[in-house]
Structure 1
Amino acid sequence: MKNLNRIHMSGLRAVEAVARLGSVKAAAEELGVTVGAVSQQVQKTEAQLGVQLFERQNRLLLPTAHILAMQPHLTSAMTSLSTAVATTQRGREDALTISVAPVFAGKWLVWHIKNFSKAHPGIRVRVEATVDLVDPDASDVDLCIRVGRGPYPGVNADKLLNQRVFPVCSPALAEKIREPKDIGKLPIIHDPGQMFSWKSWLDLFGLDESILRCGPTFSDGSLCLDAAIAGQGVFLAWETLAVYAVNCGQVISPFPERPATGMAYWLISGRNAPKTKAKQAFGSWLKKELQTSIGRPKGADVVVT
């Protein structure tokens, strides 16, 4: 490994990030430095290696044959280094890093995590809000909260709660709804990223999606809920997104029925990571807190036949 003595590690990190991500800007964002700093590190590394790794065309860096040959090895090495660093944090009983989708974090977890802190004051929780898939065996993340159908090979997955959906709208619009088919008279707020449709709810009443009117579209569930609060239409929400708004009276759920989507919330951990008391405490708390906070009304647990 003597050939590494003449190459700075920071330069190799910059070169690997640019090659993998495809741009200096993206590399700078990942590394937490400026675009200029990344460019300088790339130039220094090229000088130290004595080869050109990227061709400069306007503001673009195009990979040469040298970096194309290097990049798989660099990425593998950086991944190994990251895993090595992460192992120093595993097994700690006083800290947890939780990876969770931003919508779940903002609309449910942020309102309830204080209850865990009160019950377990000696455990510090750090929340990473991201939709990126995380390997808990190869990162500093201890637990992941995800929604999906499962199963999840290669990890430990504990089912927390079935996902159920129901329409919500502002109190003013709710006054116009007397029976399920009345929803067809109001604008429907759309989220094109949803992994379910209105069909599961409409089927309960023998209705078809053709009755639904077009309304505003937002690419984020939180924005859709905000639009419903603002009176822009009816939104088919899920419990962890809308339960706080329902309890506060910001939106109304006109009907009690909440059919399951076939998906569920899962607590995911690494198979090779140690099973600490901190993880067990958080998992037990999370399952109970979810069940308690949802507070499903009578008639909510229906099955579509």
Structure 2
Amino acid sequence: MRDLNRISLVGLRAIEAVARLGGLVPAAAELGVTPGALSQRISRTEAQLGLPVFHRTAQGLRPTETGALIVARLSRGMAELAAAIALASPAQDDVLNVSAAPLFASRWLIWRLPRFTAAHPDIRVRIEPVSRMVTPGLDGIDIGLRVGKGDWSGVRAEKLLDQRVMPVCAPALAARITVPSDLLSLPIIRENDRLHGWREWLVPHGIDVGQLPDGPEYADGGLCLDAATSGQGVFMAWETLAIDRLTKGSLTAPLPGRALTGDAYWFVTASEGRRKPAVARFRDWLTKEMKQAA
């Protein structure tokens, strides 16, 4: 314990935040400082430790081999500190703070949330729409809704639903599609020039993703859905995000079949510590809603 007197706890917190959030910019935003000030803070702390915690690369800061061991213990320590502070805070078991990606929050979750509120009027849900990955129990968040492989460290991840995709387009454009090869003569909408999910959907039909024609590009999946709805081309959409427009008829899935991407939706909570009773109720409700939507 005495060694802690020679190391800045503020600097240790900076190291943990950068490693957890994956960069100076998001860590600086969380800690309320500039990226430059945070970088200097980390350098001073490395000098106090007597070794580099991060490699400086063109892609940003990456933990050294020893740094990764340090960060793992810092993460556990910060989680314990957060849990200790929570014990001294007034209990708010009737409030759930939920972190979700902005697109999922705005296109799917927010439209179904009134049903949870109606069923559980004693629970208030606060949605935090953020793109960065947050850590429940450490960021003032009770629940994180994530898409991925579920292999995150330091958290408890419960699988909700496999992510499935399918090509969608406006009804007028769907009239020109009867077989998968018809897609090769239509504009293909891309998100940031990516073709997420196309390979998984095309391979069973014997079509290479490189055969797909050009089309509009947008920097946001929500804009891509809007572009498909307006008739600009065909988009490979996540089933959960497109389901409401498919139900209303503003979008059409002209070809049968859904493809698994290998990712899934996950219900993420703190790995340790007390969980609010409302967390399980929200998880059960969300699981049911997602399965019904699929």
Give the alignment's TM-score, normalised by structure 2: 0.73
Determine the C-alpha separation between the residues in 2 that align with 1:202 and 1:271.
38
Q: Is 1:252 aligned to 2:255, yes or no?
A: no
- Which residue is equivalent to 2:137? 137
RMSD: 3.8
Q: Post-superposition shift, 1:193?
A: 7.7
Instruction: Indicate how the Cα distance of structure 1 residues 81 and 150 shifts in structure 2: closer, same or farther if over 3 A, else same.
Output: closer
Runs of at least 5 residues in structure 1 that lack an aligned partner in the other structure: 1-11, 36-53, 55-60, 295-305
Q: Which residue number corresponds to residue 59 of structure 2?
A: none
Q: Secondary structure at the match of 2:251?
A: coil
The alpha carbon displacement at 1:154 in A equals: 2.5
**CA 1:108 to 1:139, structure 2 compared with 1: closer, same or farther past 3 Å?**
same
Instruction: Write out aligned runs for 1:74-93 (5 A).
Output: 84-88=84-88, 92-93=92-93
Rg (Cα) greater in structure: 1
Quote how far apart the aligned CAs of 1:155 are. Answer: 1.7
Segment of structure 1 superposing worse, 61-70 or 136-145 = 61-70
- Go from structure 1 to structure 2 and tell me whether the alpha carbon gap of 1:241 and 1:233 turns closer, same or farther (over 3 Å shift): same
Residue 163 of structure 1 contacts residue 262 of structure 1 at CA under 8 Å; is this kept in 2?
Answer: yes
**Counterpart AA for 1:277:** P
SS at structure 1 position matched to 2:188: strand
Asked if the contact 1:145–1:268 (Cα under 8 Å) also holds between the matched residues in 2, the reply is: yes
User: Aligned with 1:111: secondary structure?
Assistant: helix
Q: Is the 8 A contact 1:143 1:279 kept in 2?
A: yes
**Aligned with 1:145: secondary structure?**
strand
Aligned partner of 1:262 in structure 2 is: 262
Segments of structure 2 that go 5 or more residues without pairing to the other structure are 1-9, 54-73
1:303 maps to none
Q: CA deviation at 1:187?
A: 0.5
Structure 2 residue aligned with 1:164 = 164
Distance in 1 of aligned mates of 2:42 and 2:238:
49
1:92 shift after superposition: 3.6
After superposition, the Cα gap between the structure-2 partners of 1:136 and 1:91, relative to the gap in structure 1 and judged at 3 Å, is farther
CA drift of 1:157 comes to 1.1
Other-structure match for 2:175: 175
| 1:225 is aligned to 2:225 | yes
1:174-214 Cα shifts (integer Å, max 9, x gaps): 11112111011110001138683311111221122233111
Residue deviations 1:27-68 (CA, integer Å, cap 9, x gap): 6x66789x9xxxxxxxxxxxxxxxxxx8xxxxxx98898798
- 4+ runs of 1 displaced by more than 2 Å? 20-23, 29-33, 61-70, 79-93, 150-154, 192-197
Q: Count how many residue pairs are aligned between Structure 1 and Structure 2.
A: 256
Deviation at 1:274, TM superposition (A): 1.2
Distance in structure 1 (CA, Å) of the matches to 2:223 and 2:90: 36
How do residues 1-305 of structure 1 correspond to structure 2 at under 5 angstroms? 84-88=84-88, 92-192=92-192, 196-294=196-294
Tell me, in whole angstroms, the C-alpha distance in 2 between the residues paired with 1:137 and 1:210. Answer: 44
State the AA in 2 paired with 1:183.
Answer: L
How far did residue 239 of structure 1 move?
1.1
Q: TM-score, normalised by structure 1?
A: 0.70
